[in-house]
Structure 1
Amino acid sequence: MTVYIAHRLFAAHDRALAADLADRLATKVGPDRVFLPFCDTDEEDLVVEVKGRRLFELDRERLGHLDAMIAILHGPSLDDGVCMEIGYAAASGVPVVVLTSDFQTYSMTEAGAHLEFPDPLLQAVATRIVRVAKLGPPALPPAPRGSRFQAFQARNAAQTNTALDAAVEALLDLPDRASLPAGSPAGMGAPVYFEASPYTAWGRDLLAKACMDAGHTVVVPQRFTAPDPVAGALDDLNAVRSAARLLADVSGPETPPGTALLIGAALASGVRIAAFQPRTTFTHAHGREPNWRNLMIQYAADAHLDNEEAVLSWLAA
């Protein structure tokens, strides 16, 4: 079993958490069967001309040769690179265990069904979700001379340990491959799937109209309006995998998790991808070229568009 651990890279505590998980898993399947990004791509020491692209290529190569994935996701603002990797794995039929210690659940309406994540796509594609939402029990008796802060930290550590062990056990109990149905091949007249940004009120009408004016059939997401959000999410996933193109509006401070997931699924399915972002913002990581989005999003897209004319040119190409 070869396992990819998808996790947020940009803070030391996130990398340490993923390393803890990788170490526990390695004792079960062997260290050579576990791939831990940043660690196993030697990110800080890697020297190449275009570092971000090379890291994308290394991670994508691993994504193409997996038996399973464990993805760590926390909180309502989910890492777009991790979500993209989940989408790639799911569209490839790779089972995905999603680990979270978030104590919130989410719903589309006040009285609606509770979801594990803000976007139902995450719940729809996860083979298993490991959710440990409560602190560990208080120590009895309290440690001598220990502060309440140390006691609280210990309860958080216990919660983390429980979650990591549960994720390993869930992964070892997975089927060999997920049972995701094959997407229909994109033939002549296959639609353009358009994913709007929640950060722009105007994007849906403007870009969808541009696609239709260019003579394309346009498919838009169903999961946020469907009576069953998870069923709607699976419809969205299958629509993207069968589309000729994915036009994803990534405007705003981050790529939304569902959009990132669909970009990964499109890449794995051979669907052409364009990212629309009229107001570009860059991230600057030590030793890398500036990136206009998470590098897994940036290099998955074959076009980066910033105006309607650029959209029309991409559609015509």
Structure 2
Amino acid sequence: MHLYFAAPLFSESESLFNAHLAQTIRERYPQHTIYLPQENGDINDKQAYADSKMIALADTEEVKKSQLMIALLDGLTIDPGVASEIGIAYASNIPIIGLYTDSRQQGATNTKKINALKTIGENQFHYVNLYTIGLIKLNGEIFHSTTELLVGLKNYLEERDH
């Protein structure tokens, strides 16, 4: 099976996390291939040149040939490239497994946090684009930790193998 790893990739912390998680998955499931866009030097070597059409065509081709997308959703907002890749996967009926670890989602039963929503500017929770989240939930699942994501991936791969 070919997996597409959709993730922001422009900071050192993003690239390191992506590489670590992709390597973990590769070690656990060596029979599957993972396309991690940051490893494609033809379009993502920022010392070199790739125009917008080259990037769009290369990544879209990889999304469309995948049978599963893993999408990282953390950040101030969902990365625009990741959101675009999610849209392509959804339109291509490719299942999506999302990872959303933002700690501000905790405390959903805390009445002080809930009551704070009534005060302008006191949202204690993180907002994500509900359209993009909806695309994932319509054809996949979202997990709140790497551990949960790896279990979800295992379950998905086992279901596909049977």
The answer to whether TM tops 0.5 is yes
Larger Rg: 1
**Matched letter for residue 74 of structure 1:** D
TM-score using structure 2 length: 0.72
Over residues 157-192 of structure 1, what are the superposed CA-to-partner deviations in whole Å (9 max), with x where a residue is unaligned?
xxxxxx2x432221232255xxxxxxxxxxxxxxxx
Higher RCO (CA-CA < 8 Å; seq separation 6+): 2
Residue 131 of structure 2 is matched in structure 1 by 121
Q: Distance in 1 between matches of 2:141 and 2:70?
A: 9
Inter-partner Cα distance in structure 1 for 2:25 and 2:66? 15
2:81 aligns with 81
Q: Distance in 2 between matches of 1:46 and 1:62?
A: 22
What residue in structure 2 maps to residue 152 of structure 1?
none
User: Structure 1 pair 92/116, CA: closer, same or farther in 2 (3 Å)?
Assistant: farther
Q: Is the 8 A contact 2:3 2:32 kept in 1?
A: no
Determine the structure 1 residue equivalent to 2:153: 171
Structure with a larger share of its residues in helix: 2
Alpha-carbon contact 2:71-2:99 (below 8 Å) kept: yes
Query: AA paired with 1:173?
Result: N
In the TM superposition, 1:243-258 aligns within 5 A as: none
CA contact (8 A) 1:6 1:70 kept: yes
2: distance between equivalents of 1:30 and 1:52? Answer: 32
Name stretches of at least 5 consecutive residues in structure 2 with no aligned partner: 109-113, 119-124
Q: CA RMSD in A?
A: 2.8
Identity value in percent = 23
- Find runs of 4+ consecutive structure 1 residues off by over 4 angstroms: 45-48
Partner of 2:96: 96
In structure 1, distance between residues paired with 2:20 and 2:83: 21
Is 1:130–2:143 an aligned residue pair? yes
TM-score norm. by structure 1 comes to 0.39
1:91–1:27 Cα change, 3 Å: same
| Cα separation, 2, equivalents of 1:69 and 1:116 | 23
Contact 2:8 2:79 in 1 (8 A): yes
8 Å Cα contact 1:97-1:129 kept in structure 2:
yes
Structure 1: any 5+ residue segments left out of the alignment?
A: 133-162, 177-317
The 2-side partners of 1:117 and 1:33 are apart by 32
What is the CA distance between 1:51 and its match in structure 2? 3.5
For residue 37 of structure 2, give the secondary structure of its aligned residue in structure 1: coil
Displacement after TM superposition at 1:38 (Å)? 1.8
- How big is the shift at 1:102? 0.2
- Secondary structure of the 1:97 match is strand
Aligned residue number for residue 62 of structure 1: 62
Deviation at 1:57, TM superposition (A): 1.4
For 2:45 and 2:5, the matched residues in 1 are separated by: 18
The 8 Å contact of residues 3 and 66 in structure 1, kept in 2 or not, is answered as yes
- Structure 1 residue 31 displacement after superposition: 7.4
